């Protein structure tokens, strides 16, 4: 009898999620979702486990969220996997984090390729261990012709460094006469950033209750809708992603202006 009750509850949950997805698909979806995946260490600490256990559990969540984002038709999913500041963490933790891309991609790459997902990366790749670079390069090469979701890993990424490097490149191009001062505008500046081939994020999600951007896409997030949750990343579910998208769909994006209805009032 207990088994039947569990099965019934599970079936009801699946049906409810299906209806929820169908409703979400009737409204405007964010083309680009960016996620600051925070709380792995705290998740592990709450369970008296080493921090790396939280990172391992968080990797499983990446798979679930990637699958759902692809199923919904999201164009780009950017995941903040490792920041330029994360090198300050204990060596054992950093070493494990550097092995995660290889572990994740070796097990998940065939499925990503089968589901038409294109893997890409932004960040300072040359500072990563060779094995990590090789795993990322293999995934990028294997999926380069796929036309579905772009799964973009921000790996060894820092927005301030990105902006400074863009300024240096613009300065050099000005000196060399490749551009002029009159060419300078927001679109040109954006073309010097690591995200030049991606649309700006429509929705940013940050887990674990922290209310800051942590040096993540500072230029690109100027008009992004922000959604914060206390849920730790290893506990983040498909339902939480749907909740974030529903919040996005309930908002009115003005980009600094006002709507015609407000003008009439």
**Does 41 carry a binding-site annotation?**
yes
3-class SS letters over the chain:
CHHHHHHHHHHHHHHHHHHHHHHHHCCCCCCEEEEECCCHHHHHHHCCCCHHHHHHHHHHHHHHHHHHHHHHCCCEEEEEEEECCHHHCCHHHHHHHHHHHHHHHHHHHHHHHHCCCEEEEECCHHHCCHHHHHHHHHHHHHHCCCCCCEEEEEEEECHHHHHHHHHHHHHHHHHCCCCCHHHCCHHHHHCCCCCCCCCCCCEEEECCCCCCCCCCCCCCCCCCEEEECCCCHHHCCHHHHHHHHHHHHHCCCCCCCCCHHHHHC
**Does 214 carry a binding-site annotation?**
yes
**Does 51 carry a binding-site annotation?**
yes
**Does 191 carry a binding-site annotation?**
no
**Does 54 carry a binding-site annotation?**
no
Question: Active-site residues: which are they?
Answer: 38, 86
**Does 187 carry a binding-site annotation?**
no
**Does 254 carry a binding-site annotation?**
no
**Does 17 carry a binding-site annotation?**
no
**Does 55 carry a binding-site annotation?**
yes
**Does 225 carry a binding-site annotation?**
yes
**Does 87 carry a binding-site annotation?**
yes
**Does 43 carry a binding-site annotation?**
yes
CA 244 to CA 229: how far, in whole Å? 9
Binding site for Mg(2+): residue ranges?
38, 225
Binding-site entries: 38-43, 51, 55, 83-85, 87, 89, 206, 212-214, 225
Annotated binding site for substrate: 39-43, 51, 55, 83-85, 87, 89, 206, 212-214
């Amino acid at each position: 009898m207990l088994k039947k009750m569990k099965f019934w509850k599970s079936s009801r949950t699946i049906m409810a999620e299906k209806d929820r997805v169908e409703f979400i698909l009737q409204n405007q979806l964010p083309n680009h979702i960016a996620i600051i995946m925070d709380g792995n260490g705290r998740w592990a600490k709450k369970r008296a486990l080493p921090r790396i256990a939280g990172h391992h559990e968080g990797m499983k969540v990446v798979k679930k969220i990637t699958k759902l984002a692809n199923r919904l038709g999201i164009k780009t999913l950017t995941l903040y996997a490792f920041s330029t500041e994360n090198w300050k963490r204990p060596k054992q933790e950093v070493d494990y984090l550097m092995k995660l891309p290889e572990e994740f991609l070796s097990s998940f790459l065939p499925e990503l390729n089968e589901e038409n997902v294109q893997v890409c990366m932004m960040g300072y790749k040359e500072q990563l261990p060779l094995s990590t670079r090789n795993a990322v390069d293999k995934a990028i090469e294997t999926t380069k012709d796929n036309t579905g979701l772009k799964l973009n890993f921000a790996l060894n990424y820092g927005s301030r460094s990105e902006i400074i490097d863009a300024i240096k490149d613009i300065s050099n191009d000005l000196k060399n006469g490749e551009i002029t001062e009159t060419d300078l505008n927001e679109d040109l500046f954006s073309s010097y950033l690591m995200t030049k081939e991606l649309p700006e994020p429509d929705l940013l999600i940050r887990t674990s209750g922290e209310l800051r951007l942590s040096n993540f896409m500072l230029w690109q997030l100027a008009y992004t809708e922000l959604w914060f949750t206390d849920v730790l990343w290893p506990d983040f579910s498909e339902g939480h992603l749907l909740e974030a998208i529903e919040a996005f769909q309930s908002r009115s994006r003005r980009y600094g202006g006002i709507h015609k209805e407000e003008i009439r009032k």
